[in-house]
Structures are given as structure tokens and as C-alpha cells.
Amino acid sequence: MSGGVETVRFTLNGVEREAPKGMLLIDAARLHGVDIPRYCSHPGLKPEGNCRMCVVEIEKMPKLQTSCTTPVQEGMVVHTESERVLEERRRVMEFLLVNHPIDCPICDQAGECMLQEYYMRHDLQPSRVELEEKIHKPKRVDLGPLVVLDAERCVLCSRCVRFCRDVAGVEELAIKNRGGHAEITAFPGRRLENPYSGNVIDICPVGALTSRDFRFKVRVWFLKTAESVCPGCERGCSIHIEQYQNEVQRIRPRENLRVNRYWICDFGRLDYRWINENRLLSAEGPSGRLRPEEADREAARLLREAKAPLLVASPRMSNESLFALRLFREKALPEARIAGGSFREPWEGDAILKRPDRNPNRRGMETLGLAGGPEEALRAGPDLVLVIENDLLGDRPEAKELLTGKKVIVLASNRDATASAAGLRVPVATYAETEGSWTNFEGITQTFHPVLRPVGDSRSVAEALAGIAAALGADLGPVDAGTLRAAVLREAPQLDPARGREEDGRVG
């Protein structure tokens, strides 16, 4: 071990190992590639040791111990796969399945259920309880706006109860009754509706808590996944975007200890429908639909004729798109003014994840020297405005007066208010269809990757700018994300996504 951390040496399944002093055995084993099964244990929650699935045998200790509550100690000799341990796991599994409905074929959690996986790995024995003798509990319980409970499937690990109490800071869930009749419930008169409620779906190890938004949409094994970053605010939570048939089906948190740990807010979880809906599929001008090359020529004509063009960047653009815009101004339109900013009103942040600024890349925009505020630039009297990924009118309808009398070209992914008011609309891809990076308020840069094919005639912002530049007689050079990122890092190495990876291996 390095970094000045005090370590202890212990023996794990016959092999001498090393781990930080005080680390729990379940984590120390995982550190060395030994995955101990668990239900109640979760790295983002305090240990509780109630499911007994993670028991291990420790020499000189007469009873099996729960590895999720036992710290590793110097000289400890631990066995995770001994006969005593395996037999105990089989007993735990049989106990958990006594009253389980065994409805895997219709369960929405099939394919990512720990009960299903552990049965195959550690049990594989027929039930000694007839189906008609099982205790039946409530199904399809409306716990809150996002979560549906099937109490029969619950293994009472209490992860959801502890998440609400220890992470969200609210007392919304509890366990009522005793023995075989125990079940998860909301407190009387309350619902599961805190701003982080959807995380209980992710941490539920079985199919007890399911997403009202995702239920029965598609089987999970049909989903394709990409690592991405939430665009909801300047926190930039790490997420997984999952798609089926080129439409986003759900968003889940991605572990990143420096940014969002294991969680996302409910707004970020549901902030994907705009990617699927109301898309701008082709370029449109006053005469109607345009092919991409026609749109490039029309944009070039308008820009060439303009006496005082203004280019408006957005803190929602990637670092690579922002750099491409700078190249565009330098090589194709040096007389143009450039401004960056947003009219998006801040929302109320909190002490968990949500930040007041609802733009994911203000820090990157400022670092690349593109901040300056669009309002002042618009009042300076440009006769043409090129707006990129920035819904000025949707964020502040009264800003219409700032665009009155000006020719407006937009590069937008959706038919938003600004795009609808523009004279020329050029479709561009969303962050789910392209590669790029955003830098959050703490200076941490993360990359996102495409999970969807661009719809219609959409191109990346850099490709759209390169097309218009070519029509103006300028060459921006290669505009793929890798080339642009290398150029960004030559000028601003602090925007390197690799910075910080050494600390936790998760960033980027």
C-alpha cells in the first residue's frame, strides 16, 4: 500500500494479503478480487450486518462473522469459501426464499437481481415450502411518485430505509411487523418523495423496489449502456445512459467517489425525455427543409453578408465544441464577436448533490475564455446572431426583445423556443449521441460517450461549424473529439479528464 496509509497483513483464503488498517473485511476481500456475497451491505451506507449472507470463517473465532461489520486486523486468517461458510450461505438463501414468490419470469429486476444470481451460485436446492403455504404480502404498492413496492419480493435488507435516513436525511420508510410478516412501508401519512428517492431502486438487491418510469419498458439484457455525465447542473454527476432501439430508456448513477459517490437526484434520473422527443431532424430555412450542404451554404451567405455578427456559446457545450467555436471565429469569421453564457435561471441547490447553476460546463467555458454574458453582447447591436446549444428564449421569454430585428441562426438539437424563432435552424447531436467532456464547478473534467446514433441530419457541433466554415472558404482541420481534446489540453491542461483518476480510478 502507498500514500502513507497504515496497513495490516492478513491471510485471505490461504494467500497473504495487505489492506488499510480498519477496512472492513468485505471491502478488504474485494480489494484483492474476492467478491463476498451481500444483500444489506452497500459501500455508500453504514454497515448493519442483518442479512448474514456475507459471513466468513476467521480462525480462532468459534462463530462465523459478518464480513461487512468486522474490521481486518493484523495476522487475521480468513476463509470465505470454506465448507462452514458455504453451508451457512445455503441456509441463508433457503431462509430468504421461504416466502419469496419466485416470479422471476415477470419480475422487472430479472437479469440484475442478486437473489437470482446468488441462488444459482450458492443454493440450487428445491424449496421445502409449497407455493400455497407461502405468506403473501402487498404487491404494486404506491410508495411515491417514482417507486413501486412489491413486498413479497423484499428480503428486508433495509438498504432503502437506511438510504432515506442516512443519505437523503428524511424518515420516510420503515419496517413494520415481525418475523415472516415483516415488510417495508412508508411512515403513516408520508410518501417516498424526497429529491433522491430513485436511488432506492438502484440499491434494492432484488425486485422489491422498481421504477415507475422504467417498469416493463424493456428487459435489461436488451439495453446498451454508455458512460456519461448528467447535464442537469454544474455538479456533473457520473451516470450510465441505457438505450434500446436508439431511444434512451433509463439513466442510472455511476460510481464516482469524487463527484457523486453512488447517487443522482431524481431530476437527473428523469432528465432524458428531451433526448427522445421534439428533435430537430433536418435543417430548415425560410423556404423549408434544407439538406446539410444547403444549410451550410445558406448559413455562410448570411454570415458573409452580416456587418456585425455575434456568436453565442453556451455553458452546456462540451469543451471540444467550445474550442471548435473558437477555431471557427479565428479561421472563418475573425470579425465576429463571441460571447458565452446562459439565461437559465438557477434553482435551489442542496447539501447532497444539487448545485444552483443548472449548466454542466460553465467552468470549462470560462477556462477557454468564452464567458462574457450574452445579454450585454446582444445589446451591443449585432445584426446577426449565431446561437449554439443555447435556448435563450426558452430560458427567459422576455429576452425576445434582444433578438428583435436581428437575423438568427441556431445550431440546436431540439425544436426549442429559440430554434422556433430563428430564420435558419441547423440540427446538431445531443450529448448522448456524441463524444465530449464537461468540467464541473470543482474543476473535475469528465468525458461522455455516444450511446445513440445521431437522428436525422444531426451532426456534432464541431462538424456543423466545420461545414459552415468550409462554405465560407475556411478549413478548421480535423474536428473529431480526440483531436479537439488534444488541442484543448495543449492550451488548458487543467481540463484533462485524466487528472484525479489516480485518486479513485473513477473520474472521467
In this predicted model, what pLDDT tens digit does every residue of 386-415 receive, in sequence order?
999 999 999 998 888 999 999 999 999 999
* Block residue for cell numbers 428517492: 197
**CA torsion sign, 272 to 278 to 280 to 285?**
negative
Length of the chain: 508
Looking at residue 3, its pLDDT comes to 57
CA distances from residue 402 to 111, 352, 409 in whole angstroms, order as listed = 53, 37, 14
145: how many CB neighbours lie within 10 A of its CB?
13
Q: For helices 461-471 and 319-332, what crossing angle results, to 10°?
A: 10
Q: Residues with Cβ < 8 Å from 490, sequence gap 6 or more?
A: none
* Residue 389 pLDDT: 96
**What does the pLDDT read at residue 504?**
47
Q: Taking 90 as the threshold, does the pLDDT of residue 220 lie above it?
A: yes
Give the distance, in angstroms, between the CA of residue 35 and the centroid of all CA atoms in the same chain.
25
Contacts 24+ apart (CB under 8 A), 101-105: 101/134, 101/152, 101/153, 102/127, 102/131, 103/153
Residue-wise over 413-422: b if at least 16 C-beta within 10 A, else e? Answer: bbbbbbbbbb
Banded model confidence at residue 4, pLDDT cuts 50, 70, 90 = confident
Q: What is the pLDDT of residues 146-160, one digit of tens each?
A: 999 999 999 999 999
Express each pLDDT in 288-337 by its tens digit: 999 999 999 999 999 999 999 999 999 999 999 999 999 999 999 999 99
The mean of the pLDDT values for the chain is: 94
Apex 339 CA angle, 337 and 343, nearest 5: 145
